[in-house]
Amino acid sequence: MEDADGSFRMASRKFRREDTVVEIAASYGAAIGGGGFFVIAGPCSVETEAQICAIAREIKALGAQALRGGAFKPRSSPYSFQGLGADGLTMLLKARAASGLPVVSEIMEASQLPLFAEVDVIQVGARNMQNFELLRELGKSGKPVLLKRGLSSTIREWLMSAEHIMAGGNPNVILCERGIRTFETATRSTLDLSAIPVVKELSHLPILADPSHATGCARYVESMALAAAAAGADGLLIEVHNDPGAALCDGPQSITPAGFGRLRAKAEALRAALRDS
Amino acid sequence: MEDADGSFRMASRKFRREDTVVEIAASYGAAIGGGGFFVIAGPCSVETEAQICAIAREIKALGAQALRGGAFKPRSSPYSFQGLGADGLTMLLKARAASGLPVVSEIMEASQLPLFAEVDVIQVGARNMQNFELLRELGKSGKPVLLKRGLSSTIREWLMSAEHIMAGGNPNVILCERGIRTFETATRSTLDLSAIPVVKELSHLPILADPSHATGCARYVESMALAAAAAGADGLLIEVHNDPGAALCDGPQSITPAGFGRLRAKAEALRAALRDS
Amino acid sequence: MEDADGSFRMASRKFRREDTVVEIAASYGAAIGGGGFFVIAGPCSVETEAQICAIAREIKALGAQALRGGAFKPRSSPYSFQGLGADGLTMLLKARAASGLPVVSEIMEASQLPLFAEVDVIQVGARNMQNFELLRELGKSGKPVLLKRGLSSTIREWLMSAEHIMAGGNPNVILCERGIRTFETATRSTLDLSAIPVVKELSHLPILADPSHATGCARYVESMALAAAAAGADGLLIEVHNDPGAALCDGPQSITPAGFGRLRAKAEALRAALRDS
Amino acid sequence: MEDADGSFRMASRKFRREDTVVEIAASYGAAIGGGGFFVIAGPCSVETEAQICAIAREIKALGAQALRGGAFKPRSSPYSFQGLGADGLTMLLKARAASGLPVVSEIMEASQLPLFAEVDVIQVGARNMQNFELLRELGKSGKPVLLKRGLSSTIREWLMSAEHIMAGGNPNVILCERGIRTFETATRSTLDLSAIPVVKELSHLPILADPSHATGCARYVESMALAAAAAGADGLLIEVHNDPGAALCDGPQSITPAGFGRLRAKAEALRAALRDS
């Protein structure tokens, strides 16, 4: 059953004219939206406490404003590494303490919510964008939610999923474009950067881009990150691993901390130039 | 995170050479797969006890082998009719008693499983095809699961989702092709009937087709239902409503009981002809 | 530049209520549309006179009503076999004389038209569906035109291309669904059989299906051919080669004459059953 | 017939390591590729001599390096404005004389080549990307060719079409990404900017982006133009009209000269910042 004709209300620019700014962690003074540029970086999966703490400190020094790390991993195959679960979240919080960076991690279903009490931003993955039970529970939580676009979801369906969260009383939704499924196979998905101006027109919610998952290839990440910044994104989600070749998942799309530092500097220069021109 | 290179094992034709036959309800002697043709019919949503019982009796008389009816509805908009919930399931079971038809209904998340104890076949919708927590719980249940293909899921990803259920110990998986998302807008989705011979080659699991949701248009349902039968499907899932114009959801794609009777008779004639030729 | 809002007129069911029947070759009494079922078969490419004549006689005996054979081949690579050109057309006409089957062959550009003077049906391939110069010239010719759907063309754009031919004064257009490009890679294209009832509703023009090019795999051709017949197609275009393994192009999707005979018999049985039910 | 497994040779980075620089018009000293940023602007269609000359002078003053203007227009409908034809080319050449800008215009078929003798860059539209007869003739001409990507063409097929031109002896191919067809309807096509780093890796040919046709909406053009510049494009193709509301075609996607001036300045600032960072 589908209901294509419905429309979002609270997520609409008509409902709220000015840009929404999502406060991430009061104690850190971090916020997404409202003219700033917020860069979240980190490995696909939390692997060990030493690994995640080391990466956290490195990317903090290079300008990242939040740390991402997966504890629960959605895997197409039941036989693949499924993440460290609650232990992974514990390690992630230790990395927060060690680095001072707020943390972002993906939830898989509503019953896991208590485990995320300390997590600063809860990520909803592309496959769960229309898991309406999960969206409803997140609507009650008040936590900042990073809502990734589904692989075959239109921009309107995506905003409607944001509406599910907002209708429950939680206005803290951050959108994240991560590529759509098309016939092209040179990249894993097709990063739809035109979603950025379209979302900016239709909605007041902040929007990030994730060039790592979209392209699936480290060599294309910097170009697409800069393109997203130029298109008007409010920030980025970048996979960074200290040793991409040995990553337990998604190694081919992870860039190194050094590569991240270059990307970060270029994005800043680009934004400064656009601001001044 | 994605892991495209993994592969299904228990769902594979290499693992099991002969076709799987899923017993639906021992007391009814109903089964899907193994050369038979199983037709599930009924309304998108259970609306009232009188409605669902009347439709059940009517479609039973016209040859349907199971009754479908939604109690929990996934809706893109939080403001649309969301189904009657547990009350809807109770009405559906009354219709089972009244008609003698086993029943099929869609689950939205793992926590609803206890409510489905009496339901004969649990449907997993397209949006939940990669809700791995739900698949894992269904793997423990032993219940027949009707697994719809995701709108942007490849056939291999779909079989991998079946594998999630089977790896948990539940071999009773029935696949259902319901259309994929493409650029064409003349139909709601594009019914990918080539999935039928492809699945038959790769897997031993039975496969149905749902022309109602795929086309989104009652006028195209019969053609696509017959095409699915000719392509080798093990059965159909057809939306039937006694008053399509007044349906609370998906009216435009529902056919009438009379239309269903014609479709059922033609499908039988077609199958008999192919068997004898 | 695109003009999505335009609409077809002469190709519309509103312009002409009754089905168009395209006379193929008066001397053969062959026609497409109007309730019959017209099966065109033959190899992708004409290779030698002996090859094409032998196949023609074989498929004639098995019930084919026309012979297809490519002389000019559109190839993605400039280094692939490009067909025998004018010599191929000459061989094809010899096969017509030897078998009594009318012939179908693909044109690549308007300047080749004089070479097609004796060819019974001129095929416009998927890549040329919006080669408007070619359509315009075919509009002046009066010859039956087999217009394949473009890989990324909507049904409305396809009917608009038929309109280009009809607007020039040539009403003899036969549509052919041959698969659209989607994300699924298990088949070469996705055969969109729902195009058949949609075209039947919007237009009076006959429509065939080409399961060989759509699936790209001989093992799936029979299923999809029968599905097309059940969906209401006016006929089929089937690749048949006497020695698929040695074909100069498209071998993997060619079926043998024996396989074609089985397919033809099943399609007839299926159609008879639907007619009588 | 398709031949997916073939591969391009002369278009490959392995064949030629250093970037190709295409000289546009010796007398103008214009060139595309090799580190510069080349901006082509102008209306979709040449409408009158006064119109095209006025736009040419305006965009020249605002930094455009070439003038585009369509004389032959591919239209889905045979009833839409088809362009001024040869007269349009004559007006375009007058605008070249008036402004000193080299000119770009689209060819529809090989037989029109003599009319394009004075045109500086010949554009091949998306619909003709696999019109192999046209590509072959352009291969013999030596003229710079702007080769747009087909709406459903993979990057590899696109490079293979470039190979058709190069194999004929013409190395002067400029690629232009103009959006691919996907399920998203918020924009006319989906601009695939990841094609830019992919092409840069696979090939030595220069690549431009056309955000006007891709988005189909003037409000999104600047964002996507800047994104393309940030992604590493060698330039842009921008639709500019002095009175978008009154344009004979594609008005909704045309920006004004003032908007073009802002876009041009921002793109320059962005590129300077990336060069220096």
Average pLDDT, chain C: 93
CA distance D118 to chain A (A): 36
Higher pLDDT, C249 or C62: C62
Contact C181 A183 (CB under 8 A): yes
- Among all residues of chain B, which has the CA nearest to that of C182? B182
H-run or E-run covering D140? helix D132-141
Distance CA A138, CA A112 (A): 11
Q: Are B123 and B148 in contact (CB under 8 A)?
A: yes
Give SS3 for B4: coil
The one-letter code for the residue type at D88 is G
CA distance D160 to chain C (A): 6
Residue among B186, B191, B277 minimizing CB distance to C193: B191
- Among all residues of chain B, which has the CA nearest to that of D181? B183
C60 band by pLDDT with thresholds 50, 70 and 90: very high
CA distance C87 to chain A (A): 37
| C96 backbone dihedrals φ, ψ, rounded to 5° | -60, -50
What is the per-residue pLDDT across D211-234, written as a single tens digit (0 to 9) for each?
Answer: 999 999 999 999 999 999 999 999
Contact D181 C128 (CB under 8 A): no
Contact D185 B181 (CB under 8 A): no
Residue D117 DSSP code: T
Which chain B positions have a beta carbon within 8 Å of A130's beta carbon? 74, 76, 127
Cβ atoms within 10 A of the Cβ of D141, count?
18
CA distance D21 to chain A (A): 21
Which chain B positions have a beta carbon within 8 Å of A6's beta carbon? 75-77, 79-80
Give the pLDDT score at C244.
Answer: 83
What is the per-residue pLDDT across A177-200, written as a single tens digit (0 to 9) for each?
Answer: 999 999 999 999 999 999 999 999
Residue D150 DSSP code: P
Residue among B184, B187, B229 minimizing CB distance to C230: B229
Q: What percent of chain A has pLDDT over 90?
A: 83
Which chain C positions have a beta carbon within 8 Å of B268's beta carbon? 277
The one-letter code for the residue type at C175 is L
Residue A5 has pLDDT above 60, yes or no: no
- Mean pLDDT across B106-134: 94
Which chain C positions have a beta carbon within 8 Å of B270's beta carbon? 230, 270, 273-274, 277
Q: Which partners does chain D have (≥3 C-beta pairs < 8 Å)?
A: A, B, C
**Residues paired with A123 in a beta bridge:** A106, A146
Structure tokens at B174: 């029935």
Give the pLDDT score at B80.
Answer: 79
CA distance C277 to chain B (A): 6
H-run or E-run covering B213? helix B211-215
Q: Where are the beta strands (DSSP E) in D212-263?
A: 235-239
Structure tokens at A260: 């991240």
- Name A173's Cβ contacts closer than 8 Å, sequence gap at least 6: A11, A20, A22, A144, A145, A147, A162, A165, A166, A205
- Among all residues of chain B, which has the CA nearest to that of D190? B183
CA distance D79 to chain C (A): 8
Average pLDDT, chain B: 93
Contact C184 B180 (CB under 8 A): yes
Residue among B1, B133, B152 minimizing CB distance to A249: B1
Which chain B positions have a beta carbon within 8 Å of D179's beta carbon? none
- Among all residues of chain A, which has the CA nearest to that of D197? A220
Least confident of B68-72, B76-80, D17-21: B76-80
Q: Are A56 and A67 in contact (CB under 8 A)?
A: yes
CA distance B230 to chain D (A): 26
Picking from C184, C191, C203, C263 by the largest number of B CB atoms within 10 A of its own CB, the best residue to mutate is C184
CA distance C253 to chain B (A): 14
Contact B152 A152 (CB under 8 A): yes
Helices A49-61, A86-99: axis angle to 10 degrees equals: 40
Picking from C155, C193, C264, C275 by the largest number of B CB atoms within 10 A of its own CB, the best residue to mutate is C193
Interface A-B: count of C-beta contacts within 8 A: 123
Higher pLDDT, A273 or C277: A273
Structure tokens at B48: 């009232």
- Among all residues of chain C, which has the CA nearest to that of A181? C183
Give the pLDDT score at C6.
Answer: 57
What is the per-residue pLDDT across B171-219, written as a single tens digit (0 to 9) for each?
Answer: 999 999 999 999 999 999 999 999 999 999 999 999 999 999 999 999 9
Give the pLDDT score at B79.
Answer: 81
Q: Are C68 and C42 in contact (CB under 8 A)?
A: yes
Residue D4 has pLDDT above 70, yes or no: no
D5 band by pLDDT with thresholds 50, 70 and 90: very low
Structure tokens at D203: 């090939």
Q: What is the ipTM of this complex?
A: 0.95
Which chain A positions have a beta carbon within 8 Å of D272's beta carbon? 273
The residue among A1, D188, B211, B273 whose CA lies nearest residue C196 is: B211
- Mean pLDDT across B80-84: 82
What is the per-residue pLDDT across C190-235, written as a single tens digit (0 to 9) for each?
Answer: 999 999 999 999 999 999 999 999 999 999 999 999 999 999 999 9
Picking from A151, A152, A183, A188 by the largest number of C CB atoms within 10 A of its own CB, the best residue to mutate is A183
CA distance B266 to chain A (A): 26
Give SS3 for C44: coil
Interface A-C: count of C-beta contacts within 8 A: 6
Residue A240 DSSP code: B
Contact D79 C167 (CB under 8 A): yes
Contact D1 C157 (CB under 8 A): no
Residue among A77, A110, A157 minimizing CB distance to B160: A77
Per-residue DSSP letters for A31-98? EE-TT--EEEEE-SB---HHHHHHHHHHHHHTT-SEEE-BSS---SSTTS----THHHHHHHHHHHHH
Give the pLDDT score at D242.
Answer: 87
Q: Are D92 and D48 in contact (CB under 8 A)?
A: no
What is the per-residue pLDDT across A45-64, written as a single tens digit (0 to 9) for each?
Answer: 999 999 999 999 999 999 99
B82 band by pLDDT with thresholds 50, 70 and 90: confident
Contact A187 D198 (CB under 8 A): yes
Q: What is the DSSP pairing of strand D22-25 with strand C66-68? A: unpaired
B27 band by pLDDT with thresholds 50, 70 and 90: low
Residue among A1, A2, A80 minimizing CB distance to B6: A80
A82 band by pLDDT with thresholds 50, 70 and 90: confident
Give SS3 for B70: strand
Which chain C positions have a beta carbon within 8 Å of A182's beta carbon? 183
Give the pLDDT score at A2.
Answer: 38
Give the pLDDT score at B170.
Answer: 97
Q: What percent of chain C has pLDDT over 90?
A: 83
Cβ atoms within 10 A of the Cβ of D275, count?
9
CA distance D94 to chain A (A): 34
What is the per-residue pLDDT across B209-252, written as a single tens digit (0 to 9) for each?
Answer: 999 999 999 999 999 999 999 999 999 999 999 888 887 777 78
Q: Which partners does chain C have (≥3 C-beta pairs < 8 Å)?
A: A, B, D
Residue C203 DSSP code: B
Residue A75 has pLDDT above 80, yes or no: no
